[in-house]
Amino acid sequence: MSTAIVYTEFGGPEVLTVADVVVPAPGDHELAVRVEAAGVNPIDHKLRAGLRASDPITEPRRVGADAAGIVTAVGNGVEGFRVGQPVVVFGVAGAYATEIVVAATNVVPRPPQVSAAEGASLGIPVGTAYQALRSLAVGADDTVLIHGGSGAVGQAAIQHAVLAGATVLATTSDRRADRVRSLGATALPYGPEVVERVGALAPQGVTVVIDLAGTDEALAQSLALAPDRSRIATLVRGKDAAGLGIRAFSGGSPVPLTAREQAWRAEAIPVTVALLAAGRFSVEIGPQLPLAEAAEAHRLVGAGTDGKIVLVP
């Protein structure tokens, strides 16, 4: 048996409950993992609240996509993993649990330099940021503006863009500006002066914009600053992208990710784990709460709490 967080109706954080669930033995090409940490993502909160469309609930629904832990059993046909090995888990269903069974393709080894909390913080934020940068072909000749640079996706996007050689500007609150600067970006305060300030800081112009703020102001500024709309992407206002002539990657977009984009999201995890182990990537860890306090974790993520929130079974 495993202890897991479930919900049976859409609603506030209080609909999350603790349940005992049966954990099967891993099948072919699967692993069983004892969870040491589970990452809490904004999409978890949005799906639970019914803010993001999902199928009707017909049975208790599990929560969470990202985790880190220790392999406890290895199914047939699995190579490269052993019992007792620390791992990072990404892109699964039901990571808020004490033990999970997952496809080996959703697991990467976790070196000793990477903590469980760091490993559990990677999946959705890093995969999203890395794929967006690859889709927009960001490179050393680019000047990138990121709206909303201090969140988990924004921080990952800043770091991977800097590693690609790009010049990076990022909007943020004054309170979070130091964190954004520490990652290699020029911090800009939110507000109507963004276009003017970007013009002064980057007279050569902005070539790529990634919107993580989702405000009308941010979208208007994006259109004013980047002449090539095919290199403007929103990760929040996906349903509005086509009408604006810009791109969207998830974030409510009716256009699904391509197979190549999905592959980039998976590629991001081992790439970033290696960077973390080498001291070339940083994860900001926020509150770490017991698994049973998942409802409080969702309240915190809904309130925009600083740092990556992690549940610890």
Task: Please determine, for residue 1, whether its predicted confidence score (pLDDT) is greater than 90.
Answer: no
Q: What angle do CA 274, 276, 282 make, to 5 degrees?
A: 150
In a domain, 38, yes or no: yes
Q: Quick: pLDDT tens for 230-288.
A: 999 999 999 999 999 999 999 889 999 999 999 999 999 999 999 999 999 999 999 99
Question: Per residue in 65-74, pLDDT tens?
Answer: 999 999 999 9
Q: Do residues 209 and 129 both lie within one domain?
A: yes
Same domain, 55 and 118: yes
Contact between 4 and 96 under an 8 Å Cβ cutoff? The reply is yes
Select from 248, 265, 295 the last residue of a domain: 248
Residue 6 has which token pair? 């479930």
What average pLDDT is seen over the chain? 97
Mean pLDDT of all residues in 155-159? 98
Q: Which of 133, 129, 156, 131 is nearest to 144 (CA)?
A: 133
Residue 235 lies inside a defined structural domain of this protein: yes
What gap in Å lies between CA 61 and CA 32, rounded to an integer?
20
Q: Is residue 278 part of a domain?
A: no
What 8-state DSSP symbol labels residue 57? P
Same domain, 11 and 82: yes
- Residue 107 carries which side chain, given as an amino acid letter? V
Domain shared by 110 and 172, yes or no: no
pLDDT band at 134 (very low <50, low <70, confident <90, very high): very high
Strand partners, 100: 33
Q: DSSP assignment, residue 282?
A: -
| Domain-terminating residue out of 195, 224, 248 | 248
Mention every residue, 6+ apart, whose C-beta is less than 8 A from residue 26: 32, 73, 74, 75, 78, 101
For residue 273, tell me if it sits in a domain.
no
Q: Clarify whether residues 133 and 215 are in a common domain.
A: yes
Report, as an integer, the average pLDDT of 124-142. 98
Same domain, 86 and 133: no
Tell me which residue range forms the domain holding 218: 125-248
What does the DSSP 8-state code read for residue 97?
Answer: B
pLDDT of residue 14: 98
Residue 13 banded pLDDT, cuts 50, 70, 90: very high
Nearest by Cα to 136 from 110, 103, 108, 160 = 160
Share of the chain above pLDDT 90, in %: 98
253 is a domain residue? no
Bridge partners (DSSP) of residue 86 are: 70
Q: Which element (helix H / strand E) includes 170?
A: strand 167-172
Q: How confident is the model at residue 217 (pLDDT cuts 50, 70, 90)?
A: very high
Number of domains in the chain: 2
Do residues 140 and 51 share a domain? no
Cα dihedral sign, 281-150-182-188? positive
Alpha-carbon span 52 to 308, nearest angstrom:
21
Same domain for 160 and 92, yes or no, is no
Please report the pLDDT score of residue 15 as a whole number. 98
Residues in a beta bridge with 20:
3
Do 118 and 132 sit in the same domain of this protein?
no
In a domain, 255, yes or no: no
Is-contact 142 300, C-beta < 8 A?
A: no
Tokens at 248, concatenated: 């969207």
Which CATH number covers residue 223?
Answer: 3.90.180.10
- The verdict on 54 and 152 lying in the same domain is no
Tell me if 269 is assigned to some domain: no
Amino acid code (one letter) for 249: F
**Residue 210 main-chain phi, psi, to 5 deg:** -120, 120
CA–CA gap between residue 129 and residue 307 (Å, rounded): 16
Angle (CA) 101 107 113, round 5° = 120
pLDDT at 252: 87
Mean per-residue pLDDT, 204-209 = 96
193 lies in the same domain as 104: no
**pLDDT (tens digit, 9 = 90+) per residue, 55-91?**
999 999 999 999 999 999 999 999 999 999 999 999 9
Co-location of 105 and 151 in the same domain: no
Q: Where are the alpha helices (DSSP H) in the chain?
A: 42-49, 116-120, 123-135, 152-163, 177-182, 194-201, 216-225, 238-244, 259-277, 294-302
Residue 277 in domain: no
